[in-house]
Structure formats: structure tokens, C-alpha cells
Structure 1
Amino acid sequence: MTEDARSSGGVQSVDRAAVVLQILARDGQAGVGEIADEIGIHKSSASRLLAALQAHELVQQDYDRGKYRLGFGILRLAASIPGQLNLVQEGGSVLRALAEQAGETVNLAVQRSGYAVNVDQAMGPSTLASQDWVGSLTPLHATASGKVLLAGLGSDERGKLLKSTKLAQFTSHTVTKRSELERELAEVASSGFAFTDEEYEYGLVAVAVPVRDHAGKVFASVSISGPKFRFAPRDQPQLLEQLRQAGDALSRRMGYSGGPESAVTAD
């Protein structure tokens, strides 16, 4: 094979890989056959492309359904959320263990541009599971994860963020008054737990705890959510302890050397 031929083949492979990423970005997920049909290549060629992308963590496969979606290597390349890739890698086993214990959906979230961004999720064994929240931008003031992230900010930083963020109402239970929210965030900071009860969606209840980095700063949150008819976290002290331990375990994996924390921030 000549150098020009090898170069042409390499460019074609890169072009096809880029199209695969665009398809997954557009559709959220797709199977090998769907990708092959859209690009106009054989399924075996599409499978090799996906395997190469997966090896670089640019795509990942849902082993239950066999479909592919964008991987967290995309975030590493974009550098849109510092440390996120490492957080997800380290948090996977912690999230899965907690979801198995709780029997509900567990999410890992970070704060980005005034939203709580869900970066990983583990589903509990329940037959009635919550939706896939990975990649979702959710409001800080109306979600348990968001409240943990807000409470972890210094008062000046939190004040600036809330001043630029509209406290939109999603249900009749959403906290939309700044003074009321601040009182609740003080409780979150003191107890280490944030609760929401149908504040973002009717029927959805959640509880979250902080994840700290090596310097002790809250930079992520772990939450458990489930339907209100069966999930009442305030009445489940064992579950709350399991959640707290999960947050502490992930904090230690992120380099935090302090002991188990009850308060979110000292501010």
C-alpha cells in the first residue's frame, strides 16, 4: 500500500469516527446496526470503529441494551469540567454498591454554569426505575444534589450565583424565595444532607450528600432518588448512613484525608 493510500484510508477512518460521535451526540445512543446504516458501511466496520472509540473512552456501551453513547473521554478532551473523568472512574463502583443497597437510582453530579450536571448514574434493582439523568442539567435550587453544591459554596460565591440565577418554579413545592432557600441551605451545611420532596418533578423524592476534593472543598454530590409512593429517605436512617458513607468513600478516593464530615462547609 502506498503512503497516499494509507493516508487516504486514515482520513476516511477519522471522518467516519467523527460521524459516529456526531450521531451519538444527536441521538443520545445508537446500536451498531443503526450507525452502520446511517454511515453506509458494513456492521463489522461500524463495530471496529466503535471498539476503537471505546478503547479511548470516547464512547461507552450500555451492556444491558447493547447500545452505545458518548463516553467521558469526550469531557477530558474538551476539559469542560476539570477532574470529572477521574471522578466518574473512581465513583462507579461506589455508586453501583449504593444503588444495590438502596434499591433506587443513584446519581453523581457537579456544578457547572449555574446547574447541577449529572455525570454518572447507577440504577437500583427495582423494576420501576427513574429515568436516565446522565448529562442532564438540573436546577440547583430544586434538586437535592444542587442544594448540596450550593451549600458547599462560600457565602459570597453562593450569593453571586443565586443573584444571577432565577429561582424558577417547577412544581407547587419548589422553593422560590431566596430567604427560604438560604435557611434551608444553612440546614444542609449543618447536617450534611439535602432533601427534596417533589420540588423538581411531582412524585420524585431525593436526598444527597457532598463529595470533597483533596482540599476539603465540596465539588460534587451523590444522591439517591425514587418515587414518593415508596421512597421516604427522612424515615430511613440506615439508608442515610449508607449514603453518607458513600460520600465519604468517594471523597477519600478524590484525595480528601479528613475524617467523615457532617457539615458541608464551615462558611
Structure 2
Amino acid sequence: MTTIQEKSDTVAAVEKAFAILECLGNRRDVSVTELAQQLGLSKSSVHRLLQTLKALGYVAQDGESELYRATLKLFELGGKALENTDLVREADEDMRRLGELTRETIHLGALDEDAIIYIHKIESDFGLRMQSRIGRRKPLHSTAIGKVLLAHMTPSGARALLESQPLKIFTPQTLNTVEAVMQILPRVWKLGFAEDNEEAEPGLRCIAVPVFDRFGKVVAALSISFPTMRCDADTPERYTSLLKAASQSISGRLGWRPEA
């Protein structure tokens, strides 16, 4: 590994922190002195950074030997990034097909702490302007994707997330209490889809279905968004059917097999 020489205070500490993590990734049970010598840093600087990384859970220290090692938290973080990368790649073809069939906006969203985050999007052919973009976070309670993700959590887990922050009201249709959201989740789970009926944006509807990984865990939700003016009597049923077929295809490529 390239040795990092002691640099001026203008150099970001994160550069040194990642150098330490890289070193710990290649070796197990390393002392402060060894790290300092290998990286060309002072022992005090290495010790300070190690304590920060330890507090964040990325580094552990043996109680007797006082040697340091990397934890599995980095593996977990990398696994999540890899999972999302695989998910987007596997979902892209079906999302584009959905876009061609409906000409509406298609989203793929996943849980990001206490909100959803859009990780892929196919734009509407109609030039529909939505308050969404890849990487943007949206509330759980007012989105069809959020309701799907909540419905596949334990009730206590869903309630904890909903109670962690005030439920913002976006339109007169927004569910504005934890109990109101909790009451619909069993039905969402049973039917296999959720709806947002002008709850996030006026004049806009959305239907979402879950996407499963090989363990049967819901890792994301797939949705179609469309304006109420293009919603006929059979539109929700048709879009739900298309979404479920696409979700089954995506989930299958992720290794999921439906129960017999």
C-alpha cells in the first residue's frame, strides 16, 4: 500500500481514516505503532482516528492485547451498496418495459433509515413533472412505496419508524396519524400492493408492489405514478397486474422463489 506521509492540516482526516481501514482490511490485530509506521503518521494521530472509527463501529479493539481490527460493518455497508447496484441492474429491463406499456413514470424505491429513497426511475412519455429524482428521499406514510415497505415490517418496527418524526401533511388526502397508517398496512400486505391517492401530490396517483430477494425479504418496491386525469375505471387493476408481473420477474432474477 502507498505510504501516506504526514501532511498539512488542510488534508482531510477522512483520507487518513480510510488508509487505516484499508490497512486493517489487509491485516488482523494491528497495533497503533504498526499502523503509524506503515502509514507514515504519528501515533497520536492514528490513535485519535482509531478511537473515532471505534466509536462509529468500524473498528474493534481487543481488551487484553489492545490490538485493533476492522469489524463487519464495512462489509455490511458494501453489501448494501452492492445489493442496490444489483437490484437496479436487474430491475431496469422490466421497468423500461412497464414504461413502454403504460407510458407513465416508473419508480424503484428502497428504505433509507426513516424514509424511502428512489434508486431508479423511468420517465413518463407524457412529460409528467414529479417531485422525484434518483437519490431523493420521500416520507413513508404518504407514498405507495413507503406503505409497501412498512407493510412488510413487523408492526412494532413500522410503528417505531412512523413515530420517529411528525407525519407531514402534503395534501388533504395525506394520512396524518400513525394509527391511520397502521390500520391500512395489513390490507396492503394481504393484497400485495399499496396506493397513494393524491396523498403526496395533488392530482397524482401511485400504485406500488414489493420486490423480494432470494431470502423472501422485501428489499424495494416498484411503482407506477400517473395523474388522476388519466385514470379510468380499469386503470388501477391493470397497472397492479402489470406491476406484480414485473415484480415477480425482478424478484426471480434476485433469486426469489414464491412459496408453493
Corresponding residue for residue 59 of structure 2: none
Q: Is the 8 A contact 1:108 1:222 kept in 2?
A: yes
* SS of structure 1 residue aligned to 2:206: strand
Shift of 1:130: 4.0
Corresponding residue for residue 246 of structure 2: 246
Alpha-carbon distance in structure 2 between the residues aligned to 1:232 and 1:82 = 39
Corresponding residue for residue 59 of structure 1: none
Corresponding residue for residue 204 of structure 1: 204
Structure 2: 5+ residue stretches without partners: 1-75
1:80-119 matches, within 5 Å, as 81=81, 83-119=83-119
Shift of 1:232: 5.1
Q: Which moved more, 1:120-129 or 1:105-114?
A: 120-129
Give the alignment's Cα RMSD to 1 decimal. 2.3
Cα shift readout 1:195-233 (whole Å, capped 9, x = no counterpart): 011111111110000001111011100000011211358
Alpha-carbon distance in structure 2 between the residues aligned to 1:232 and 1:180 = 27
Cα shift readout 1:138-179 (whole Å, capped 9, x = no counterpart): 100000111101111112221221221321111111101222
Alpha-carbon distance in structure 1 between the residues aligned to 2:194 and 2:178 = 16
Cα separation, partners in 2 of 1:176 and 1:127, compared to 1, 3 Å: closer
Shift of 1:239: 2.2
Cα separation, partners in 2 of 1:188 and 1:100, compared to 1, 3 Å: same
Q: Which moved more, 1:162-171 or 1:84-93?
A: 162-171
* SS of structure 2 residue aligned to 1:83: helix
Alpha-carbon distance in structure 2 between the residues aligned to 1:150 and 1:233 = 27
Shift of 1:81: 4.3
Shift of 1:186: 1.4
Cα separation, partners in 2 of 1:138 and 1:114, compared to 1, 3 Å: same
Alpha-carbon distance in structure 2 between the residues aligned to 1:146 and 1:77 = 22
* SS of structure 2 residue aligned to 1:120: strand
Corresponding residue for residue 258 of structure 1: 258
Alpha-carbon distance in structure 2 between the residues aligned to 1:138 and 1:110 = 10
Corresponding residue for residue 231 of structure 1: 231
Cα separation, partners in 2 of 1:164 and 1:218, compared to 1, 3 Å: same
Shift of 1:127: 4.3
Cα separation, partners in 2 of 1:145 and 1:234, compared to 1, 3 Å: farther
Alpha-carbon distance in structure 2 between the residues aligned to 1:232 and 1:146 = 24
Corresponding residue for residue 167 of structure 1: 167
Matched-pair identity in %: 32
Cα separation, partners in 2 of 1:234 and 1:145, compared to 1, 3 Å: farther
* SS of structure 2 residue aligned to 1:110: strand
Cα separation, partners in 2 of 1:105 and 1:150, compared to 1, 3 Å: same
Alpha-carbon distance in structure 2 between the residues aligned to 1:203 and 1:100 = 22
Shift of 1:259: 5.2
* SS of structure 2 residue aligned to 1:240: helix
Q: Which moved more, 1:121-130 or 1:205-214?
A: 121-130
Alpha-carbon distance in structure 2 between the residues aligned to 1:130 and 1:167 = 21
Q: Partner letter of residue 112 of structure 2?
A: R
* SS of structure 2 residue aligned to 1:241: helix
Q: Is the 8 A contact 2:208 2:223 kept in 1?
A: yes
Query: What is the TM-score normalised by the length of structure 1?
Result: 0.64
Corresponding residue for residue 138 of structure 2: 138
Cα separation, partners in 2 of 1:95 and 1:172, compared to 1, 3 Å: same
Greater gyration radius: 2
Cα separation, partners in 2 of 1:179 and 1:251, compared to 1, 3 Å: same
Alpha-carbon distance in structure 2 between the residues aligned to 1:195 and 1:244 = 13
Query: What is the TM-score normalised by the length of structure 2?
Result: 0.65
Alpha-carbon distance in structure 2 between the residues aligned to 1:80 and 1:195 = 27
Shift of 1:80: 6.1
Structure 1: 5+ residue stretches without partners: 1-75, 261-267
1:222 matches 2:200: no
Cα separation, partners in 2 of 1:157 and 1:165, compared to 1, 3 Å: same
Corresponding residue for residue 150 of structure 1: 150
* SS of structure 1 residue aligned to 2:251: helix
Shift of 1:184: 1.1
Cα separation, partners in 2 of 1:162 and 1:233, compared to 1, 3 Å: farther
Alpha-carbon distance in structure 1 between the residues aligned to 2:247 and 2:227 = 22
